[in-house]
Amino acid sequence: MGSAGSKLEKALGDHFPEGERYFGLENFGNTCYCNSVLQALFFCLPFRQQLFHYYAANNNNKYHTDAQSQSQSQSQSQSHAEENLLTCLADLFLQINSSKKKTGVIAPKRFVQRVKKQNESFRSYMHQDAHEFLNFLLNELVDILEKESSTKGSPATSSSSSSGGPASLANGSHPPLANGVNKEPHVTWVHKIFQGILTNETRCLRCETVTARDETFFDLSLDIEQNSSITSCLKNFSSTETLNAEDKFFCDKCCSLQEAQKRMKIKKPPHILVIHLKRFKYIEQLGRYKKLSYRVVFPMELKLTNITSTGDEDYADREYSLFAVVVHVGSGPNHGHYISLIKSHSNWLFFDDETVDMVDESNLTNVFGSVQEYPGNTDHGYILFYECIARGKGEKIKESEKEEKEKE
């Protein structure tokens, strides 16, 4: 990677972002699913900043890691009782961030070992799913922070995040976020960055009573269609569905099964919006999963129009900017490779395990997908990361009103 690193430095020249580091990650036998997600999270600046804030707050009294002498402390750190997935991730990101070199390769060995120790699903050398790994990682981090919050003086929550998480949900609904345990919502900094709220509205067609149920999410999984766009996928996600025949809805007011209309809307969008494109579909005739190479166009800038719930128009014109794409390379779900395309300081970069190169923004069209059933290009966008860059008008008005009240 020395030549590749120097090549990248030469390409950026005087425009190399001050204080930034571009490092490839070593592959430990089909761990590309892990590497691609880690790169997206490293360049998710709110996440990186909160992770370092957590590290600084915990380093003196929780665990010991010296990023400057990482190679010496790795074997010793494994025996520390306090070590967990969060500390391993913080160590890895700090090792990259504090490197004297601007580019290079780092081996995330301790982190990968911890992942395999925590979840047996990732222990084999078989092809793994990047989306499943992202879900596992975020929920595991939440689990750790929630456990730490129950101990005295734990900084599991942080007010320095730029987006707020809900203290409670409407109707008292709060589905499990970690290990299937249903509990009172506790807002960690992971929630504040990634968590949004969906509202599931069901209207009884007999009595017209609307039942609303809120649920939280860390990412949106969207069904995809051929030659479509993220906007159309989001509209389909929030389209109205009629419940009839065997799918009738039990109406509490009617005390019986009734025909109803159901729709899912975004009640509160997250600061970082993660969109998972459902490219792997089970085909009953084949008796197996098949990869959908459909062409799905995703914009650099995204507005949440027509998918926010009625009465919550505050977020309707909220704007998002794409900063990372995890790409699945391969023709099938059980084999292939993962890479990531990352936007950093106005530059787009290509991360393929140990390799890091610059790439033109126009090249992102190559991972939209194909209109052909058996395309020659099997690089397809799989997980999209958008960051909120402009709040909705309603949000701004409420914030102004709050500031005025504080002045009074």
Which domain range does residue 125 map to?
2-398
pLDDT band at 335; cut points 50, 70, 90: confident
**Residue 168 domain flag:** yes
Say how many residues make up the chain: 408
Strand partners, 311: none
Residue 81: per-residue pLDDT = 44
Counting residues of the chain whose pLDDT is more than 70, the rounded percentage is: 79
Q: Look at residue 404 and tell me if it is in a domain.
A: no
Packing angle between helix 85-97 and helix 109-118, nearest 10 degrees? 160
Let me know if residue 407 belongs to a domain.
no
Q: What is the mean pLDDT of residues 81-91?
A: 89
* CA angle in degrees (0–180, nearest 5) for 365-366-371: 95
Of 158 and 26, the one with more pLDDT? 26
Confidence of residue 405 (pLDDT cuts 50, 70, 90): low
Strands, sheet with 210-217, edge to edge from the N-terminal-most edge strand: 210-217, 196-204, 260-268, 241-243
Phi-psi group of 80: left, alpha or beta (phi > 0 → left; psi -120 to 50 → alpha; rest → beta): beta
CB-based contact 24:354 (threshold 8 Å): yes
Q: pLDDT by residue (tens digit) across 288-331?
A: 999 999 999 999 999 987 677 655 567 778 899 999 999 999 99
Residue 406 lies in a domain: no
Residue with tokens 């997600």: 37
For residue 197, pLDDT over 50 is answered with yes
CATH no. for residue 210? 3.90.70.10
Does residue 18 form part of some domain? yes
Q: Which of 32, 44, 88, 251 is catalytic?
A: 32
The tally of domains found in the chain comes to: 1
Annotation says 32 is catalytic: yes
Q: Where are the beta strands (DSSP E) in 205-361?
A: 210-217, 220-222, 228-229, 241-243, 249-251, 256-258, 260-268, 272-277, 280-283, 288-291, 296-297, 301-303, 319-329, 337-344, 347-352, 355-359
Mean pLDDT of 59-74: 49
Q: What is the pLDDT of residue 396?
A: 58
Q: Choose the catalytic residue: 34, 337, 380, 388.
A: 337
337 is catalytic: yes
371: in domain: yes
Q: For residue 253, tell me if it sits in a domain.
A: yes
Query: For the CA atoms of the chain, what is the radius of gyration?
Result: 22
Average pLDDT, the chain: 85
Domain assignment of residue 394, yes or no: yes
